[in-house]
Chain A
Amino acid sequence: MKNIKEKFLLVSAGTVTGVLNGIFGGGGGMVVVPFLSSILSKPARVAHATAILVILPVSLASAIVYLVNGYFAAELFTAVSVGVLFGGFTGAVLLNGFSDGWATIVFSLVMFAAGLRMIF
């Protein structure tokens, strides 16, 4: 019975993640982490790593839909992809995938301000 409930929760979590990642073109990974830690009680580090495993096929699928819909610009895509690849590597080396509490707090406030700016 517990098993069925867990599967139901996982399918629901997957549905929510998919809708958000498809419509917003990202952010799915950040939604998956708390699901993995709450439903499957995975430790924080494992949840962060496994979230990428979950979101990779999801992002690939939505990326294909976006490309088919014509959202593509060669220069932009090349420049950003190279930047993200180097930046991601640097960030991972800097903090080994785990941010300090204070950095996270400051970052969350910046993110909130950006969110407000987009709403208004």
Chain B
Amino acid sequence: MRFIVYLTAGLVGGILGGMGMGGGTVLIPILTMFCGVEQKLAQSVNLFSFLPMAILSLKVHASNKLLQPRGTQWMIPPAVLFSVIGGIFVPALPKNGLRIAFGIFLCALSVFQLRTGLKSVLAQKNAGKKEKSAKEGM
């Protein structure tokens, strides 16, 4: 039974992630709020379960020629280094503090997501009005 609950949580997180709506950031609150999984464990599951899906999506994106690694060689090494350092600190972090910080992170990301959504809705509207030049809007 528990297996089914966890599987469903993964399905929901995966579908949203596949739709480009931040799978990991959703999967963690789903697991903590609805499945009673401790947050640090939920974070670990999220990192772990992301790997096979990421490899699969990279294959698809590569065949669609959507990968442009230029410049990323400057981002990846510091990102890897600091994610390891960040991860080392996790066991020492107070549970309540981490939960609140995650909530703030989630709110901040959602504001950005809202902006992206509004932009795309506006772009669709503008595309409808051909007489408007694209650069006039903003």
Contact = CB atoms under 8 A, between A and B. Distances in A.
Interface in A21-43: 21-32, 34-36, 39-40, 42
B6 to A, nearest CB: 3
Nearest to A69: B91
Contacts of A1: none
Given A17-B75, A76-B37, A111-B109, A84 B100 contact: no
Contacts of A54: 72, 75-76, 79
A79 to B, nearest CB: 3
A112 B111 contact: yes
B18 A88 contact: yes
A23 to B, nearest CB: 4
Question: What does DSSP make chain B's interface, helix, strand, loop or mixed?
Answer: helix
B95 to A, nearest CB: 12
Contacts of A82: 7, 10
A102 to B, nearest CB: 6
**B interface, size bucket:** 35 or more
Contacts, number: 396
Contacts of A104: 21, 113-114, 116-117, 120
B88 interface: yes
Contacts of A34: 112
B55 A10 contact: no
Interface in B23-54: 23-29, 31-33, 37, 40-54
Interface of B: 2-29, 31-33, 37, 40-58, 60-61, 64, 66-72, 74-91, 93, 98-114, 116-124
Given A24-B101, A26-B47, A87-B14, 9 more contacts: A21-B79, A49-B64, A53-B69, A83-B9, A115-B105, A115-B108, A118-B99, A119-B103, A119-B107
Q: Rank and list the top 8 A-B pairs by shortest CB-CB distance, nearest first.
A: A83-B10, A22-B86, A87-B14, A91-B18, A25-B43, A18-B82, A26-B24, A118-B103
Interface of A: 6-7, 10-11, 13-15, 17-32, 34-36, 39-40, 42, 45-46, 48-50, 52-63, 65-67, 69, 71-73, 75-95, 97-105, 107-109, 111-112, 114-120
